[in-house]
Structure 1
């Protein structure tokens, strides 16, 4: 009887572990932190709802903070990887670096370190690129765009070239600051992310 109970408990424990949801970690800035809108209206929460309906379900950990730079994200990532052991890491960082005009080499080094750290744990990585306003000039804007494209190619990471494609220039989908989507724009942001993210969930 004891052997039977021990076997039953071990099977139940194994089943519980197998049923534990896999995790997608999102590390980003205000574009992923539902800036000035309800958290449940943000694209990350909408993603969480979608993934929660999958069989087996996935869970989403949103570690995004408004104002986050690539450097501060780089500092926070190791603890997040150790705590949540994500299968997929979504990196949405660089907008604040760009808006502050920080050196692109610094951004590239920080993003490269984060991609490598995530991949070293066995996680798949999705980079979410961003575009800057025209007044930043073509050299800086093109350089920023190249950072994401080059890293994705060199590190074999998935890429969304521009997170706000089809949203940023639509006043009906943007807040008055012209930088952040409103609640009406967030589903379209998820629509940009999903085609690149879905293959990583297989």
Structure 2
């Protein structure tokens, strides 16, 4: 008999972990070797267990799934991680891809069969990005990156701050503020600052807390 694919399940939802463990238990050649409820716990368990595949939740308290992925891959570059998320926006998917995940599934659309297919594919050395996810990755590749300062200005715009507020926040000139906003609009394909904020929320650059 061949060696089982060893899986670490990471999710802060105990019921979801329980469901995945049950589903994987019925699959030939797959074995759950550990479960974690947080990013820090996942990192410690990865070092201890060296699993073949990790199913990683995106949104967790403390270290989120993208940060945990970066941390694991920094020390174990051959790690194979599948992001399992409620987020379906371009930016969240793009952050995950840049972090180095080998697959991305949304909790809203991912059936158990899709999760199993992703695990088998990634364990075999491949990647798993469903068509809709792949389309969003390609769309995001075409967007010019916002600079860290532009992201900060965009966050303030999303909070409804005025030019005067932004000037005071950063201690910069009005012309510099207008320059940042123009760059933000052009990069997001927006006609004005309001549309830029709407697009940013739609793409997942900004999130509703």
- Give me the TM-score of the superposition, normalised by structure 2: 0.46
| TM-score between both structures, scaled by the size of structure 1 | 0.47
Of the two, which has the highest radius of gyration? Answer: 2
Q: Higher RCO, 1 or 2 (CA under 8 Å, sep at least 6)?
A: 1
